[in-house]
């Protein structure tokens, strides 16, 4: 059964129930060095603990942002996908940036994970 209170906010590891957060907060992995204007890979996996992908409980999508700038969305279907994606992206400005990933579970709402990156020349 859906948890209505989780649909009233964007949940994070700090704000959501700990056991639920372990299965829902996106984990972002990037290279140690990111060069301005150069493609690099970003891997986003939903949860420290694998999330089920059954017809009654599954991750619907993952969105990726750099700060508040939208980069990409990947949609998933129940039973046929694993909630993990690797994207090749480019960040056009140097400096500290926050990559933000959002995942949406049909029963537990939207969850956010972040990763600070330093983009250099």
- pLDDT in tens for each of the 121 residues of the chain? 666 677 788 999 998 889 999 999 999 999 989 999 999 999 999 999 999 999 999 999 999 999 999 999 999 999 999 999 999 999 999 999 999 999 999 999 999 999 999 999 9
Could you tell me the pTM of the whole model? 0.93
Distance between CA atoms of 88 and 45, rounded to whole angstroms? 15
Decide if 95 contacts 67 (C-beta within 8 A): no
Q: Using CA atoms, how far apart are residues 8 and 76, in angstroms rounded to an integer?
A: 22
Q: How far is CA 62 from CA 10, 35, 95, in A?
A: 13, 24, 25
In terms of Cα–Cα distance, which of 113, 85, 88 is closest to 98? 113
Domains and CATH numbers, the chain: 4-120 (2.60.40.730)
């Amino acid at each position: 059964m859906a948890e209505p209170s989780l649909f009233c906010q964007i949940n994070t590891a700090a704000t959501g129930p700990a056991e639920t957060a372990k299965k829902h907060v996106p984990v972002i992995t990037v290279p140690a060095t990111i060069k301005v204007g150069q493609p690099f890979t970003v891997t986003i996996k939903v949860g420290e603990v694998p999330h089920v992908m059954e017809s009654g409980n599954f991750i619907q999508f993952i969105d990726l942002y750099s700060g508040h700038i939208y980069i990409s969305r990947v949609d998933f279907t129940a039973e046929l996908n694993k909630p993990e994606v690797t994207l090749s992206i480019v960040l056009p400005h140097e400096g500290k940036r926050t990559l933000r990933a959002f995942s949406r579970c049909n029963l537990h709402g939207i969850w956010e994970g972040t990763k600070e990156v330093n983009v250099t020349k």
